[in-house]
Amino acid sequence: MKAIIKGKIGKNCQIGEGAIIDENVVIGDNCIIEPYAVITGNTTIGDNNHIFSHAVVGSIPQDLKYNGEKTKLIIGNNNKIREFTLINPGTEGGGGVTKIGDNNLLMGYVHVAHDVIIGNNCILANAATLAGHVELEDNVVIGGMTPIHQFVKIGEYAMIAGASAVSQDIPPYCLAEGNRAKLRGLNLTGLRRKLPNRSDIDEIKRAYKELFESGKPLREVAEKLLKSENKYVRHLAEFVLNSKRGIPYDRKM
């Protein structure tokens, strides 16, 4: 079965048999589209992406409020999108765009719903599910079989254990696990791999203890940490202060 190609394809792309690329799709250079993948909708894909068999990229949102409005899906460069992954574009009520950055790995059966924003260098293991309006900062790892509730935000370098259920915001640099997921400490292994300066990690440790283990009011501590000279501590404090769904930690009296 020949591929059906109606969209705009860049240089040096490989398109497998039975793949479908619809007319409003734009694909950059050096991409591999495996057999029977479907790329549809108002979808723009950058360079050096590899989309595996039976992935469906750009089909209409699974949202009853969606009424056929023209919205977008934008995918950056150097991403791997594995078999049977489903990625939907945005909705009018959510800003109209689903956006995925660069160098991400979406394993098999991952679902990325409408109006999701994914940064760079993220890993979503098999069957991880992002509901509408979820936001992932850079370098986030989501374990397999883990659903993320609508409007949840997950900070950079955070790691979520497999088979968890995340219904509240997970701050940067943290580990979370459980149903419902709670903070279990810092993602020290990830931080040691990514941050060259050990003093930055030590500052993050001190900030975590002050925020989540001291028993002091969370907002009061975060406002104090906002004045830190360390950029990672300031980002952690800003995340906590701006959280809309709350932070899932064990509050000490």
Q: Which residue in the list 41, 101, 132, 155 is annotated as catalytic?
A: 132
Active site residue 200: no
Local structure of residue 111 (DSSP, 8 states)? E
Active site residue 102: no
Q: Which of 110, 45, 122 is nearest to 76 (CA)?
A: 45
**End-to-end Cα spacing for the chain:** 66
Burial status of residue 250 (CB atoms within 10 A of its CB: 0-12, 13-18, 19 or more):
exposed
Q: Which of 42, 109, 51 is nearest to 73 (CA)?
A: 42
Q: Do you find a cis peptide bond into 180, omega within 30 degrees of 0?
A: yes
Active site residue 22: no
**109-121 burial: b if 16+ Cβ within 10 Å, else e:** bbbbbbbbbbbbb
Map tokens 């409408």 to a residue: 114
**200-237 burial: b if 16+ Cβ within 10 Å, else e:** bbebbeebbebbbeeeeebeebbeebeebebebbebbb
Give the SS3 label for residue 218. helix
Q: Which residue in the list 102, 115, 138, 169 is annotated as catalytic?
A: 115
CA–CA distance, 186 with 175 (Å, rounded to integer): 5
Q: Which residue in the list 114, 133, 149, 235 is annotated as catalytic?
A: 114
Q: Which residues are catalytic?
A: 114-115, 132
